[in-house]
Amino acid sequence: MKPTDEPTVQQLFDLKGKTVLISGASGYLGGAMARGLAEAGARLVISSRDRSRAEQTASELPDPHQVNHLGVALDHMQEASIDEGFANAVKAAGQIDVLVNNGNDPVGEDWRSVTADAFSRHLQNATGYFLLARKLRDHVVERQAAGCVIMIGSMYGVVGSYPEAYEGICNASPVAYHTMKGGLIHQTRHLAVYWAKDNVRVNCLSPGPFPSEAAPDGLAARLSEHSPMGRMGKPSELKGAAVFLASDASSYITGQNLLVDGGWTAW
């Protein structure tokens, strides 16, 4: 390819003409990623258990190209809701090109008190991610188009946490959460290998410490002590990574886990 024929950086990161289905976009980090994708030109389909909440979130997103973002009801913890919600998303938007699996049904108990039922339910998040990813894969293959899946993992799918970071402040980081996020990272690799021939890329974006204002008092300061950069992440610092993985800027990247963690896992 001659240099004059290659796409520019602006073209590589441009998401105009792409439709992105993202779950959990009304949340602290999901909202920032959704705004970044919208600012890059994508049309967003926001999913939530509550359709009105999804539609409200969609209406508040930037819309520089007047693409009219949409909201649909979809509970990634329920297979029937996944089937119905994905079908409704396709019907409303016409097509889905990118899936961001960001929704999370949390678990609060740590290893001392978590029950078998609570542990198993949290793992259901990974099941929902897979079922939605398969829906996206089948949809784009049927259209003979390219597709992209972004799993949202965590630094805690890669490393264990520091017990002293939580001691005296709140429960330890939940073992079920670590187990689920670690599984998602490997699910990413597995699906990427199988779906590469289908022109479907699968990558994982793993945030590091991004506590919200609702975090227990003192936790951010305690966590900052264990960060090479000495601070917590800002939600806007996930926008570039999300756009990168969703766009042609990462067209030769699949099966990877991109850590945005301020160096936490580099220790």
Look at residues 15, 32, 180 and name the one whose alpha carbon lies nearest to residue 98. 15
Assess contact for 143 and 97: CB atoms under 8 A.
no
**Reported confidence tier of residue 5, pLDDT bands at 50, 70, 90:** confident
Residue 243 falls inside a structural domain? yes
Predicted confidence at residue 143, as pLDDT, reads 98
pLDDT at 4: 73
Task: Let me know if residue 265 belongs to a domain.
Answer: no
The pLDDT value given to residue 2: 66
Indicate the number of domains in the chain: 1
Kindly indicate the confidence band of residue 1, based on its pLDDT and cuts at 50, 70 and 90: low
Mean pLDDT estimate for the chain: 96
Percentage of the chain exceeding pLDDT 70: 99
Which of 96-100, 176-180, 211-215 has the weakest average pLDDT? Answer: 211-215
Amino acid occupying residue 97 = D
Query: Does 3 score more than 80 pLDDT?
Result: no
Say what the pLDDT of residue 78 is: 97
3 within some domain: no
CATH number of the CATH domain containing 21? 3.40.50.720
Interval 89-114 mean pLDDT: 96
Q: What DSSP letter does each residue of 150-161 carry, written as one string?
A: EEE--GGGTSPP
- Give domain status of residue 72, yes or no: yes
4 in any annotated domain: no
pLDDT (tens digit per residue) in 128-166: 999 999 999 999 999 999 999 999 999 999 999 999 999
Q: So what's the pLDDT on residue 172?
A: 85
In a domain, 5, yes or no: no
In a domain, residue 2? The reply is no
Residue 267 falls inside a structural domain: no
Task: Determine the Cα–Cα distance for residues 165 and 173; give it in Å rounded to an integer.
Answer: 9
Q: What is the pLDDT of residues 228-250, one digit of tens each?
A: 999 999 999 999 999 999 999 99
| Number of other CB atoms surrounding residue 149 within 10 Å | 28
Range of the domain at 244: 14-260
